[in-house]
Amino acid sequence: MSKKKILYDGKAKTIFEGPTLDTVIQYFKDDATANNAEKHSIINGKGVLNNSISDYLMQKLNEIGIPTHYIKKLNMREQLVRKVEIIPVEFVVRNIAAGSIVKRLGLKEGNVFSRPLIEHYLKKDELGDPLINEDHILNFQWSTRNELEEMQEYGLRINDFLRGLFFGIGLKLVDFKIEFGRYYSEDGNSILLLADEISPDNCRLWDIKTNKKMDKDLFRQELGGLKEAYQEVANRLGIIPEKKNYSSAKPEIVK
Q: Tell me the Cα Rg of the chain.
A: 18
**Contact predicate 51/139, CB 8 Å:** no
Q: How far is the CB of 99 from ligand UDP (least distance, A)?
A: 2
**Contact predicate 139/96, CB 8 Å:** no
The residue type found at 151 is M
Closest CA to 174 of 253, 223, 102, 126: 102
Q: How far is the CB of 36 from ligand UDP (least distance, A)?
A: 8
The residue type found at 60 is K
Q: Which residue is nearest to ligand UDP (CB)?
A: 99
Q: How far is the CB of 20 from ligand UDP (least distance, A)?
A: 29
Q: Pick between residue 78 and residue 175 the one whose CB is nearest to ligand UDP.
A: 175
Q: Pick between residue 176 and residue 180 the one whose CB is nearest to ligand UDP.
A: 176
Q: Pick between residue 25 and residue 101 the one whose CB is nearest to ligand UDP.
A: 101
Q: How far is the CB of 213 from ligand UDP (least distance, A)?
A: 11
Integer Cα distance of 164 and 169 in angstroms: 9
Integer Cα distance of 155 and 62 in angstroms: 14
Q: Pick between residue 74 and residue 232 the one whose CB is nearest to ligand UDP.
A: 232
Closest CA to 202 of 65, 87, 103, 58: 58
Q: How far is the CB of 5 from ligand UDP (least distance, A)?
A: 26
Q: Please state the separation of Cα 213 from the chain's center in Å.
A: 17
Which residues of 21-156 form beta strands (DSSP E)?
23-28, 31-34, 39-42, 70-73, 78-82, 85-86, 89-96, 112-122, 131-132
Q: How far is the CB of 103 from ligand UDP (least distance, A)?
A: 8
Q: How far is the CB of 64 from ligand UDP (least distance, A)?
A: 21
**Contact predicate 199/104, CB 8 Å:** no
Judged by the rule CB under 6 A, the positions of this chain that interact with ligand UDP are: 92, 99-101, 129, 175-177, 202-204, 216
